[in-house]
Amino acid sequence: MLETVHLSKSFKGKKAVQDVNLFLNKGESVGLLGPNGAGKSTTISMISSLIKPTEGEIKLNGINTIQKPGEMRRILGVVPQELALYQELSAYENLKFFGSIYKMKGKELETSIQEALDIVGLKDRQKDLVKTFSGGMKRRVNIAAALLHQPQILILDEPTVGIDPQSRNHILEMVRMLNEQKGTTVLYTSHYMEEVEQLCDRLYIMDHGEVIAAGSKAELLSILSTEDTIKVALDKMDESLVEQVRSIDGIRKVEAAQLQLKIIAKKGSNIINKLVYLTDQHHTQIIQFQTETPSLEDVFLHLTGRTLRD
């Protein structure tokens, strides 16, 4: 349905997005996951024709949309990261304004506004001024604005960043309902692995402007089928110990945070003896040693050497 081909964007010669190929099939829910600055927003801005790519194509049902964005705008609903609401107007008045941008009016607009408010759970607050809303409620008004023209594809750019847990759950449930019950195709960007895991059939992992892995959760996890994830808690830790652990044979990645080491090691490599030896030398004790089932976070760590929230 929607496809990007070798999509790239540079700002003043600096590459923000490089050679991104992604596709969305009709009815799919696809995640775009990556840390801050990975290039997710820039990719979305190109798809929604807010900015022009430096290179590459964006295709809607096989037709390049870069020169002719009209059809794309008609079927696409985009919820940007930045809120764009009039604080002194009510939720209803804001939606009326957004509807007029889509040239909607009269009964059609009224029905759409009420449906969108219903979906985001703000029907009974529609007369209240937006300035009285919590961050999560404002975000929900923004989502309602993107739903007014009943888009076939909905793109959400990190919709749950910085909002209360109740609104967050509401948004996740709402996206799931739109996808499963209304058949809306979803592209959901996030740097929360668990959200994307919950909501999406497939995901793309981006880092430094590039897609570094893509596939279903099972496919991505199979990247780690030859590895173990081990958590080690220590009573104290220093950088030279971490460096020496990194150089143990069979260890592929080590992430140190507070008094914990997260280690990705070749399956079956017997690292415990070497760990005990090294911790002894550093007068440090192992408090806990635990092998874990790998998660998508571990896939990210394996691919980039960093955690998602670095």
Ligand X SMILES: Nc1ncnc2c1ncn2[C@@H]1O[C@H](COP(=O)(O)OP(=O)(O)OP(=O)(O)O)[C@@H](O)[C@H]1O
Report the interface residues with ligand X, using CB under 6 A: 11, 16, 34, 36-42, 158
Rank residues 157 and 228 by Cβ distance to ligand X and give the closer one: 157
State in angstroms the smallest separation of the CB of 65 from ligand X: 19
Rank residues 16 and 196 by Cβ distance to ligand X and give the closer one: 16
What's CA 261's distance to the chain center, in Å?
A: 26
Q: Report d(CA 162, CA 142) in Å as an integer.
A: 15
State in angstroms the smallest separation of the CB of 47 from ligand X: 12
> Which secondary-structure segment (H or E) carries 168?
helix 165-180
Rank residues 8 and 65 by Cβ distance to ligand X and give the closer one: 8
State in angstroms the smallest separation of the CB of 102 from ligand X: 25
Dihedral of CA atoms 168, 184, 58, 18 in degrees, nearest 10, equals 30
| Whether the Cβ atoms of residue 272 and residue 289 lie closer than 8 Å to each other | yes
State in angstroms the smallest separation of the CB of 10 from ligand X: 9
Rank residues 3 and 157 by Cβ distance to ligand X and give the closer one: 157
State in angstroms the smallest separation of the CB of 290 from ligand X: 31
Q: β-pairing, 153-157 with 185-190?
A: parallel
Q: What is the 3-state secondary structure (H, E, C) of 10-53?
A: EECCEEEEEEEEEEECCCCEEEEECCCCCCHHHHHHHHCCCCCC
Residue carrying the six token digits 């390049």: 64
Q: Report d(CA 179, CA 167) in Å as an integer.
A: 18
Q: What angle do CA 9, 161, 118 make, to 5 degrees?
A: 105
Rank residues 104 and 193 by Cβ distance to ligand X and give the closer one: 193
> Which secondary-structure segment (H or E) carries 218?
helix 217-221
Q: Report d(CA 228, CA 307) in Å as an integer.
A: 16
State in angstroms the smallest separation of the CB of 108 from ligand X: 34
Rank residues 205 and 245 by Cβ distance to ligand X and give the closer one: 205
Q: Report d(CA 53, CA 58) in Å as an integer.
A: 9
State in angstroms the smallest separation of the CB of 52 from ligand X: 12
Rank residues 192 and 289 by Cβ distance to ligand X and give the closer one: 192
